[in-house]
Amino acid sequence: MSSRNRPTAIAIATALGFAPPLAAQQIDGLRLKLDRVLPAAPKRIDREAAKFFEADHIEGDRESGIIATGNVSMRQLGAAVRADRVEYTESNDTAIATGNVKIEREGSSATGPKLTFHPDADTGEMESPVFAIPKLGNRPISARGSADRAVLEPDDKTRLYHATYTSCPVPRNDWYLKVRELELDSSRNVGTAYNSTVYFLGVPILYSPYLTFPIDNARKSGFLAPTFGTSGQSGFEMSLPYYWNVAENRDATITPKLFTKRGLQLGGEFRYLEPKFAGQLDVEYLPNDKIAERDRYFVGIRHTHALPWGFTAGVTAQKVSDDDYFRDLSTRLAATAQTNLPRDGILAWSNEDVAFSARLLAYQTLQDPSLAQQVDTPYKMLPQLLGSGLWQNLWSTGADVTASGEYSNFSHPTKANGQRAILYPSVQLPWRRPWGYVVPKVGYHFTRYDTDPNTEGVESGTRSLPIASLDAGLYFDRAWSFGGRDYLQTLEPRLYYLYVPFRDQSKLPNFTTAEMDFNYTSVFTENRFIGGDRIGDANQVTFALGTRFAESDTGVERLKAALAQVYYFEPRRVTLNPGEVPQDTGRSDLLAVVSAQVARNTVVDAGVQYATGTNQQSKNFLGVRYFPQPGSVINAAYRYTRGAIDQVDLSSQWPLTNNLTGVARVNWSFQDSKLLEGLLGFEYNAGCWQVRAVAHRFITSSQQVSTSFQIQLELTGLSRIGINPLETLRQNISGYRRSDEIAPP
């Protein structure tokens, strides 16, 4: 019996144990639609569910089997087969498909000339398959390949023999994996290759007897691609990391690293994340460094913990074997610039109004032998107890009351040791209106010192003094038009008066205090010193004038600028250290700052500190950022501090062609006539692969320069080979974007 004029659809209800007569199955109105992409199926699939057939011609019965020809579609929950001809025998659950065969299983598909398939067992075999893995769900890439033979296994596994695998689109094979045996597990989204060779642009570049790779974004255990690089201090570097996915919330990376000039280093990183705590442990060990002729190591730990009743705790600690560890073994400026490694433990508690903490803090200070002056070692604080509170609109009076307190025990191998206790309560009464505000504030600062009696030059004692301030401002605005656009311009004058009486503090110790940098923020603060050991005397007023321009229709702020200057009614007699000359100028330098979005994609920031008494610039800064589109940015900055800094800093990421992007940075000191930091490199994005190459040079000390070359080949969907320069690029180029984050070519 046959049907020749229209497609015929039948269903074999093997799950119910019977099939209706074939004649009854030929219902003209029945049309079973087969999706071009198999819909997602439940994880637990009933493999004995009904099988659906549709074809131009169907004949046979249950006992002898079914033969379907012409545009045949066979579907069972979890799999679908299309072919020119399908023969199905129910007694042995065998379907033989020939001619333009395509099978779709959850997460993958394959085409070939012949397929033998057992639907209920979800097993089979295909000759000369060409397979595809589409983008689905959290799977970020698509992949494809071919093989001599494919064996279909339960749970959506496919085993391919003498296969190739790539993520490049047809017909490109820029890179591919040539493998003797390849297992693709679509249920776990994992690929496993045995005896494989990676080919790039037709050239074999890497062989591996065993290789695993994810075909989605999930973490998995296994060897990561080796990394290669070079540096002037250590020579050629090669590492082979192993990633261990310990659990869903724990992982570890073990990294043996070979330095040709120094030896073999072993590194490890362990991370954990729990609902109440999280942390990371890092360890590096280099036995018998060939250059330094000693064992070298680094240990670092970070841990945070949420405890009951509102308490939190944390530990941060780092230790290295010697002062030169980072300068010799790191290729990152941020690491080589470290001088004080913290060992910090803290226990804290807080609620809406108050906060308390107890802390133990010490440092390992790394000295630079090339410097004439050694790095100053900070004090240990064993312990430091802190408390603070803020009560707004206390008892509905409109007053805001604040209080802060501290007790610290300071110890140092060569300086004065002692304890410091601070208490500073204050109250302010803010009065605000749409057109202006007035905020008067008064407080009383009390400090007590108990110092080691054997220390010369410092004494135990107390310091108490009132602090009063008045902060007031007005707000004016007007409509303004320029260049065919309407703007809202504001004018915002501000006055800040500060009074702090003089107290002689020359015999009090200095545990943690330094002078605050003079800038637009600091002229509105109560103390010109940072830290609690010096409270600057003040009888001064700050005048400031600010303005803003914003688009009337969008509210986008196009420009803001401000001027500020401090006028002193009395000399500032408190100095940081005994013997320093008090400041007796009647006014401060004039500060001017401006930030403007001069075009949709151009931002300018500038600042000037001008000494009106000598008509000289003390400091200035000019920065320009041009970013016409993501992945295209030019940054330019100039910094000047009289007698200290005279630098220009240029950086850019810029597309040179549709696929090629250049990256560069130059930080040049005019004062020293030398390059402080330089970077030059490129990125090439071919869609299914990217290559990044960066040369990086920076000063690690007054006499040492570090030069590194970082090259990485990223084969999309397989692995990355080489040293990853992305962190270096992000730190050096503001606004940097990965090429594959912008738009695929």
Q: Among all chains, which residue has been given the structure tokens 């504001």?
A: 490
Q: Which two tokens stand for residue 648?
A: 């220009």
Residue closest to 634 by CA, chosen among 644, 624, 643: 624
CA dihedral 181, 186, 190, 195 (to 10 degrees): 0
What tokens were used for 295?
């064992």
E strand or H helix at 325: helix 325-329
Contact (CB, 8 A) for 146 and 154: no
| The pLDDT of residue 26 | 35
The two tokens of residue 549 are 């321009």
Q: Which two tokens stand for residue 201?
A: 């642009």
Cβ atoms of 620 and 700 closer than 8 Å: no
Distances (CA, A) of 230 to 27, 235, 331, 356, 674: 73, 5, 9, 48, 23
Alpha helices (H) in 344-413, listed in sequence order: none
Instruction: Answer for the pair 427, 439: CB distance below 8 angstroms, yes or no.
Output: no
Q: 8 in the Ramachandran plot: left (φ > 0), alpha (ψ -120 to 50) or beta?
A: beta
Side-chain half-sphere of 130: how many Cα atoms within 13 Å?
8
CB 320 within 8 A of CB 336: no
* Whether 333 contacts 698, CB under 8 Å: yes
CA angle (315, 317, 318) in 5-degree steps: 165
pLDDT at 467: 97
Segment 56-62 long-range contacts (CB within 8 Å, at least 24 positions apart)? 56/3, 56/4, 56/7, 56/8, 57/2, 57/3, 57/4, 57/8, 58/2, 58/3, 58/8, 58/10, 59/1, 59/2, 60/22, 61/22, 62/12, 62/19, 62/90
In this structure, are residues 739 and 243 in contact, taking their beta carbons and an 8 Å threshold?
no
Residues of the chain with pLDDT under 50: 1-6, 13-45, 47, 745
What are the structural domain ranges in the chain? 8-211, 219-408, 415-588, 629-745
Q: What phi and psi, each to the nearest 5 degrees, are found at residue 434?
A: -60, -25
Q: Give the type of residue at 731.
A: Q
- Look-up of token digits 């589409």: 134
**Contact (Cβ atoms closer than 8 angstroms) between residue 583 and residue 572:** yes
- 615 burial via Cβ count (<10 Å: 0-12, 13-18, 19+): exposed
Q: What is the pLDDT of residue 10?
A: 60
Closest CA to 422 of 513, 315, 558: 513
Fold annotation for 8-211: lipopolysaccharide transport protein A fold (2.60.450)
The CA-to-CA distance between both ends of the chain, in Å, stands at 54
Question: Which helix (H) or strand (E) covers residue 296, if one does?
Answer: strand 296-306
In the beta sheet, which residues pair with residue 432?
437
Are residues 705 and 677 in contact, defined by beta-carbon separation less than 8 angstroms?
Answer: no
Radius of gyration of the chain (CA): 36
What are the residues whose beta carbons fall under 8 Å from the beta carbon of 601, sequence distance 6 or more? 626, 627, 628, 629
